[in-house]
Structure 1
Amino acid sequence: MEGFVLVGLLVLAVVFFLKFLARNRTSAAPADQLRYRRRPALFTPAERSFAGVLDQVLDARYRVYGKVRVADLIEPLPGKDRRIWQKAFNRISAKHFDFVICNSSDLVPVVVIELDDSSHQKAKRQQRDEMLQQICQQVQLPLIRVPAQKGYKLVEVEDYLKPLRDLESTADSETTGQAIPLRAVRDDTGWAGGV
C-alpha cells in the first residue's frame, strides 16, 4: 500500500515538473517568434478630436502631450523599505494619462486630463480612476475628467479647463491682480484675438 502512495506521489511530482518546464519554455520564446504590428494611430478618434480642440483653446504658454506614462510624472517617495517603494511604483508604472498640459517655458506639468469612455463604467476601471485621483491629489496635480465624445466644442473644453484657469488666476493675482484668459476672447461672431 505504501509503495502505491509513493509511486502516486512520484508521478504527481513528475507531472507538475513537466508542466512547469512547458510553461517556462513558452514564456521564453525566441525573439524571432515575437511578432508585432504598428498601431494605426496614437490617439483614438475621441482623443484626436479633443487634442485638436485643446490646441485651439490653449495659447503658447502651454504645451499638450498625449499618452504620458504616470510614472514619468509621479514617483513614489523614497523610503527605507525598497519593497514598499517597488509596490507603489508597480501600481502606476503601466498606467498613462490621456493628456498632460505643461508650461511651455519649463515643461512643468500643470494639469492632467483623462477622457472617460464607456470602459470607465467597469468596476476595475473605476478603482483605477479612484487610485489615480487620490495620487494626483496627494502630489497636488489637478486631474480633469472629461466624458469621451466624437466631437468637442471650444466652449465645453474651456469649461473643463476651469482648474487650469483657477491656477492661472491664483498665479496672476499674486503678481498683477488680474486673470489671463486661456487663449482667446469670445465675442458674438465667434473666436477672436489671442493672448
Structure 2
Amino acid sequence: MGYFYFLLGVAAILVLSMLLSLRKSLKRQFALPYVADRTFFTPEQRAFVSVLERALGTDYRVCAKVRVADVVGLRGRLSRDDQERAYQRLGERRFDFLVCAADTSAIVCAVNLAPRSRRGKPPPKDILDRICAAAGLPFVRIRERDAYALDEVAAIVSDVMQHRKASERDAVLPHAEAEAMLQGLSKSILGEERGARPARAPESPRRREPEVGVSKRRDPLILGREDIEDGPSFTIQDDLDEVSPRPGRRR
C-alpha cells in the first residue's frame, strides 16, 4: 500500500512540473518581445549633439534619429513598380540629427555621424546622399571624434544651410518678371474667352532681295568740287559768218 502512495506522489510531481513548464512556454509565446533602451543617444551621439546645439544657437532645434521616410516623400505620377523600388531604397535608413527652424519647424538640413578614420579621408557617400540630393534636402556627414571644435562644426553646418538658401533664391522668379508673365497670361486668357485673336508680335522687317534681270539705276554721289572732272572747253568767235537760210522745198 505504501508503494502505491509513493508512485502517486511521483506522478503528481511530474504532472505539476509539466504544467509549470507549459505555463512558461505559453507566457513566453504570447508575451510581446520588446525591451526598452536605457539611453537614447550612443556615447558618440551624446558627445556631438551638445556641440551641434551650441553651434546652431537658439534659432534652431535638433531632432535625433529621424527616419528618412518620415521627411522624404515621393513625387507624383509614379507607377506602382517605381513607388515600390523608391520605398525599398528608403528602407529603414535614418538621419542621426535633423536640424529644424525653432519658430516654423522647417527642415533646414540633416547631419549624420561617420565612423572614425585614421587616414583622415572624407566620409564616403552612399545611396542616402543621392536620395537627399534628389529631394533637395541638404545633407552632410561629420567624422566621429574625441573632441569637436565648435567653430568648425558651425562652419560646416552653416555652409550647408547657405548652399540651400542660394539654390532657393536662384529658383525664385523675380517679382517684376513674375508679375509681367501673369499679366500677359491673363490678357491671353481673356482674349480667347472673348473670341479675339491674340495679338501677334511685330515681325522684324525683311530685307528685300533684288529681282533677277532687273538693273537698278543709282544716282551718282558727288562729294565735292574736286571730284568733278572738267570736260572739253569751247569758245565762240564774234566774226562768224551769218548762216544763210536753207532754200525752201520746191513744189
Shared fold (TM-score greater than 0.5)?
yes
What residue in structure 2 maps to residue 145 of structure 1? Answer: 141
What residue in structure 2 maps to residue 4 of structure 1? Answer: none
TM-score, length of structure 1 as denominator length: 0.61
Task: Tell me: CA distance 1:165–1:36, structure 2 relative to 1, closer, same or farther (3 Å).
Answer: closer
- Taking the aligned partners of 2:77 and 2:29, their CA distance within structure 1 comes to 38
Q: Are residues 1:61 and 2:59 paired?
A: yes
What residue in structure 2 maps to residue 93 of structure 1? Answer: 91
Is residue 69–residue 97 contact of structure 1 (8 Å, CA) maintained in 2? yes
For residues 24-65 of structure 1, the C-alpha deviation after alignment (integer angstroms, 9 at most, x for no partner) is: xxxxx9442x42222222211111111001111112221110
Superposition deviation, residue 67 in structure 1:
0.4
Runs of 4+ in 1 over 3 A off after TM superposition: 167-171
- Taking the aligned partners of 2:106 and 2:64, their CA distance within structure 1 comes to 15
Q: Are residues 1:158 and 2:166 paired?
A: no
Q: Describe how 1:40-189 pairs up with structure 2 within 5 A.
A: 40-117=38-115, 129-167=125-163, 170=166
Stretches of structure 2 that go unaligned for 5 or more consecutive residues are: 1-27, 118-123, 171-251
- Taking the aligned partners of 1:149 and 1:50, their CA distance within structure 2 comes to 9
* Paired-residue identity, %: 29
Superposition deviation, residue 165 in structure 1:
4.9
- Taking the aligned partners of 2:164 and 2:82, their CA distance within structure 1 comes to 36
Stretches of structure 1 that go unaligned for 5 or more consecutive residues are: 1-28, 120-125, 175-195
Three-state SS of the structure 2 residue aligned to 1:40 is coil
Is residue 62–residue 102 contact of structure 1 (8 Å, CA) maintained in 2? yes
Superposition deviation, residue 88 in structure 1:
0.8
Is residue 142–residue 163 contact of structure 1 (8 Å, CA) maintained in 2? no
Task: Tell me: CA distance 1:40–1:151, structure 2 relative to 1, closer, same or farther (3 Å).
Answer: farther
Paired positions, count: 137
Task: Tell me: CA distance 1:57–1:80, structure 2 relative to 1, closer, same or farther (3 Å).
Answer: closer
Letter aligned with residue 35 of structure 1: P
Superposition deviation, residue 163 in structure 1:
2.4
- Name the structure with the higher strand share: 1
- Taking the aligned partners of 1:133 and 1:155, their CA distance within structure 2 comes to 24
**Which has the bigger relative contact order, CA under 8 A and spacing at least 6?**
1
